[in-house]
Structure 1
Amino acid sequence: MHRIIALIMLAIVGLSSPSVQADSSNISNELTSLQTSIQQDVAQLSKTHGELANFTEYRIKQNTELLHEQLKELMGEPNLNKEMLKPFIESHLIFIGKVDTYFKNKISKLQNQLGKGDDNKIMMQLSLLEAERDQQLQAYLEVLEWAKTLGLNTGDKTALLTKSLIARANGFNSFVQFTQDKLKLAIKEVSLAGKDVTAEQTLNVTDLKERLSHASSSLGVAINLLDTLGQNTSDMKETLFKSSGDITQDVLNMDVASSLFEQWLTSVQDYLIENGPGIVFKLFIFILILFAAGMISKAVRKLVKRAVSNSKLKVSILLQEFFISLSGKATFTLGVLIALSQLGIELAPLLAGFGVAGVIIGFALQDTLSNFASGMMILVYRPYDVGDLINAAGVTGKVSHMSLVSTTIKTLDNQRLIIPNNKIWGDTINNITVEHQRRVDMTFGIGYSDDIEKTEKVLAEIIMAHPKVLKSPEPTIKLHTLGESSVDFIVRPWAKPEDYWDVYWDITRTVKMRFDAEKISIPFPQRDIHVYQK
């Protein structure tokens, strides 16, 4: 847009085609043709309206951009034709000055309208107009660099531009700070309003943010231009950094960094001087509460352990351990929450966050929660306890430990297996040691030629002589089946669960030795073969 306005002013001033060398006539003719086309469109623009005016502006913009790119390309050629380009650059500097005057007048008119209408709308128009002027100033400095390359005297114009940019940057520096303070106040009002915030308050915050963005952008352009001209802009860069929150290569330099560090150090010192004793006291209270919570947690664990172990309810060891662990952890967690509240942390949002996180974690850990639920069922219904010999989930062994998610079983060959609780609760649980008596089932076979009554007497003597066989219930000794190779007796004494294998192994060994002594055979499978000869 700035190029359109610039060329409009150029047409008003009147730009005469420079004399060119014969070898540059094509380039000169092309540039002159573009200028003529632009001048004709500018003249036509004042007579058109509506969509036709928009189309004419579009043509002017297209030709202006093409003219600028061609000039830039010519300035970048290694064999620079300075004599041909000097008149173009000199004329360019003249009309850019006219365009700057145009911008100043238009901005001044808008500023005079403040307080007479919609100020927010006028401020946004000013921001957009300032953005167009930023482009014009960038183009002006670029043309000044071209003129300097061609050997033209640009000292006065550079000094005027530098003075104008300094004033512009200082103005935007103050305006950015002013807008930032207003934005902070507006945001605070919205926060205090909460659910009662009005649309007007929300719109005010949005307008201030957009206004701050435009002002910061214009300040950034002015800073870049002043840096190119060798001016010190560290204070302005500091303001730009605070408003945007971005660390860029242009902003990050030693002056800005040192200034920001000094301010940060000063603010930290002031804060510590003002609030230091209070912070130290809060930290001391926080640590003291945590220490006290740890001590109380241990005391609560001991009290709960004593209560559940002496309870007449005959609570299982698994449930005892659960209550002891839960009481200690719950006490310490309560102490942590109290300690956090002493630091000024709001517990309600924290607990709400834990609730939301719990739902999310619950979906992610469904299997673990299934184990947890199964563990609770095992604790409540107590199908086994620590030390019991069980057969569950295809594993036989003694229960050595249990948590809410798993049960640790030590097998008979001293292997330690950790089984998820849902595997145990979802399967048949055989608690081998839960009863005080267990029947030992054994079968012994004798030959068909052996004395049955004698065998019964020998088996009875062996059973009754074993010290770990219980007298009640009485053991069972009966002839059971007539097998293919033997006459089979069932022998079923009773013993304590922990004595089961001792009784089984001892009686089996004794039976073999007594049968040998009493000449009672223990047949092995055999088959009679009859051979017939013709």
Structure 2
Amino acid sequence: METIWAVLAQFGLSILAAIAIFIIGSWVAKVISRFVKRLLSRRGLDSMLVAFVSTLVYYAILAFVIIAALNRIGIQTASFIAVLGAAGLAIGLALQGSLENFAAGVLMLIFRPFKVGDYIEGGGTAGLVQAISLFTTTLDTPDNRRVIVPNGKLNSDTITNFSANDTRRIDMVLGVSYDDNLDQVKQAILDVLNKDPRVLKDPAPMVGVLELADSSVNFAVRPWVQTADYWDVFFALYETLKIRMDAEGISIPYPQQDVHLLQQSQN
């Protein structure tokens, strides 16, 4: 009986120790999780990423606490850890594509190459960013189609963010006839640009001869505008420039080719 009571006492103490380890470990996991959450929030990270990382930290610590508690009462945890590792490997291989998208989503939420409301191009499509999740990014195209892009595809491609800067340069090409006065053309273009209040004065617009093409002298027209005004100014300037060229008597030639026929005399 003394031996039985001694074994029971020892086993009871092990159980009490395991319970104490679990209670204290759970409390420590919550404290560390809250600390990580506050730390990430102060750094301005996305709320979704903050919640995910803090939860992941909590359950990772809790897993170690459970293993320590089981080990304290004499349960061999080596085989248990091996089974969990094998199961994790199998799940990882089965969800390889999803895990790639998840990892890409975490990286994008950390480094923030774009945010909701930006107009971007990447992953084979372009559109306005509506939502960024851990697995996908939702875009609305200019013709109002909704495209769901996997984060893995988006992160592996070149991302062009058209909304990152406050100003953008419009690159236009205007062709005129070889018979037109180039100084007159340049002055007319600059006058159109200066009269549009949406065209920025600093940096100043640039106008110059781009190339001597087959059918026309092509002018490069490079005005700077606010990013929000880009497309409105883009379309308006082409229309205004055409009207101004007509008013100045400056022709915008069609593509043409001169053909010379040589008549061979017959003896």
Match of residue 32 from structure 1:
none
Deviation of 1:368 after TM superposition, in Å, equals 1.0
When the two structures are superposed, what TM-score results if normalisation uses the length of structure 2?
0.70
Identify which of structures 1 and 2 has the higher relative contact order when contacts are C-alpha pairs closer than 8 Å and 6+ apart: 2
Match of residue 517 from structure 1:
247
SS in 1 for 2:199: coil
Aligned partner letter, 1:476:
M
State the Cα deviation string for residues 252-277 of structure 1 (Å, max 9, x = none). Answer: xxxxxxxxxxxxxxxxxxxxxxxxxx
1:392 and 2:141 correspond: no
1:460 and 2:190 correspond: yes
SS in 2 for 1:457: helix
Measured in 1, the distance between the counterparts of 2:178 and 2:50 equals 63
Distance 1:330 1:532, change over 3 A: closer
| Consecutive unaligned residues in structure 2, runs of 5 or more | 1-6, 8-33, 64-74
Deviation of 1:358 after TM superposition, in Å, equals 3.7
8 A Cα contact 2:49 2:106, kept in partner: no
Deviation of 1:360 after TM superposition, in Å, equals 3.1
Measured in 1, the distance between the counterparts of 2:53 and 2:142 equals 31
1:470 and 2:197 correspond: no
SS in 1 for 2:249: coil
State the Cα deviation string for residues 323-359 of structure 1 (Å, max 9, x = none). Answer: 25666x67998xxx9xxxxxxxxxx99x978776444
Aligned partner letter, 1:322:
L
8 A Cα contact 2:129 2:140, kept in partner: yes
Measured in 1, the distance between the counterparts of 2:187 and 2:89 equals 70
Aligned partner letter, 2:160:
N
Match of residue 442 from structure 1:
172
Aligned partner letter, 2:125:
V
State the Cα deviation string for residues 97-146 of structure 1 (Å, max 9, x = none). Answer: xxxxxxxxxxxxxxxxxxxxxxxxxxxxxxxxxxxxxxxxxxxxxxxxxx
Measured in 2, the distance between the counterparts of 1:431 and 1:380 equals 16
1:410 and 2:137 correspond: no
Measured in 2, the distance between the counterparts of 1:377 and 1:322 equals 10
Measured in 2, the distance between the counterparts of 1:528 and 1:356 equals 76
Match of residue 369 from structure 1:
99
Measured in 2, the distance between the counterparts of 1:399 and 1:331 equals 30
Give the 5 Å matches for 1:129-278. Answer: none
Distance 1:519 1:357, change over 3 A: same
8 A Cα contact 2:207 2:220, kept in partner: yes
Match of residue 379 from structure 1:
109
Measured in 1, the distance between the counterparts of 2:243 and 2:236 equals 11
Match of residue 506 from structure 1:
236
Match of residue 497 from structure 1:
227
1:432 and 2:157 correspond: no
- Aligned CA RMSD, in angstroms, stands at 3.0
State the Cα deviation string for residues 457-488 of structure 1 (Å, max 9, x = none). Answer: 11001111112211111111001111111111
8 A Cα contact 2:127 2:140, kept in partner: yes
Structure index of larger Rg: 1
Deviation of 1:366 after TM superposition, in Å, equals 1.2
Measured in 2, the distance between the counterparts of 1:369 and 1:502 equals 41
Give the 5 Å matches for 1:1-40. Answer: none
Measured in 1, the distance between the counterparts of 2:48 and 2:162 equals 22
Paired residue total: 212
8 A Cα contact 2:178 2:216, kept in partner: yes
Deviation of 1:453 after TM superposition, in Å, equals 0.8
Measured in 2, the distance between the counterparts of 1:443 and 1:374 equals 39
Match of residue 114 from structure 1:
none
Distance 1:365 1:430, change over 3 A: same
Structure (1/2) with the larger strand percentage: 2
Match of residue 66 from structure 2:
none
SS in 2 for 1:485: coil
1:320 and 2:50 correspond: no
Deviation of 1:427 after TM superposition, in Å, equals 1.1
Please point out which of 419, 438, 444 is paired with 2:149: 419
Match of residue 483 from structure 1:
213
8 A Cα contact 2:192 2:240, kept in partner: yes
SS in 2 for 1:385: coil
Measured in 1, the distance between the counterparts of 2:212 and 2:57 equals 69
Deviation of 1:392 after TM superposition, in Å, equals 0.5
Aligned partner letter, 1:507:
L
Aligned partner letter, 1:323:
V
Distance 1:320 1:474, change over 3 A: farther
Distance 1:508 1:412, change over 3 A: same
Measured in 1, the distance between the counterparts of 2:91 and 2:259 equals 74
Aligned partner letter, 1:363:
L
Distance 1:424 1:331, change over 3 A: closer
Structure (1/2) with the larger helix percentage: 1
Distance 1:398 1:463, change over 3 A: same
When the two structures are superposed, what TM-score results if normalisation uses the length of structure 1?
0.36
Q: Percent identity?
A: 39
Aligned partner letter, 2:120:
I
Aligned partner letter, 1:481:
E
Aligned partner letter, 1:509:
E
